[in-house]
Amino acid sequence: MILRQILRLSSLFHSAVSVHLRRNIGLSAIVFNKTKELDPVQKLFLDKIREYNTKSKQAGGPVDAGPEFQKDMNESLARLQRAYGEGDLTKFPEFKFEEPKFEEAPK
């Protein structure tokens, strides 16, 4: 009986330690990946994304979009407003849900 309890406790201890080690190894792998040097292709890709992000913030919209893009965008928005009604179609709609009114039916 004592042997069973010792084996049970050792298995619980083993599972707890293994979970703890797995978490630590997983976190250390993430930290290691962030600190090591990136692949040249990955670095180039990230640099281009960061460059586009700064250009987009400066331009206030799409980067390197000429007058044709703006014309197409305005035509599409006008067509959508005719089809779906008025309002700003560039923003996500706000939904307002009211609580249902439940009435108890007489028995």
46 and 21 belong to one structural domain? no
Residues 6 or more apart whose CB falls under 8 angstroms from that of 63 comprise 52, 55, 56
pLDDT score recorded for residue 65: 79
Dihedral sign from CA coordinates of 56, 60, 61, 64: negative
45 and 17 belong to one structural domain? no
24 and 49 belong to one structural domain? no
45 and 32 belong to one structural domain? no
57 and 26 belong to one structural domain? no
Single pTM value for the model? 0.38
14 and 43 belong to one structural domain? no
Q: Which amino acid is at 14?
A: H
Which range marks the domain in which residue 44 is found?
38-81
pLDDT score recorded for residue 48: 92
45 and 74 belong to one structural domain? yes
pLDDT score recorded for residue 75: 92
Q: Report if residue 102 sits inside a domain.
A: no
pLDDT score recorded for residue 45: 92
The upper half-sphere exposure of residue 87, i.e. CA atoms within 13 Å in the direction of its Cβ, equals 10
50 and 27 belong to one structural domain? no
The upper half-sphere exposure of residue 8, i.e. CA atoms within 13 Å in the direction of its Cβ, equals 5
Average pLDDT per block of 10 residues along the chain, 107 residues long? 67 65 64 66 90 88 82 88 78 85 79
> How many domains does the chain divide into?
2
26 and 12 belong to one structural domain? yes
43 and 74 belong to one structural domain? yes
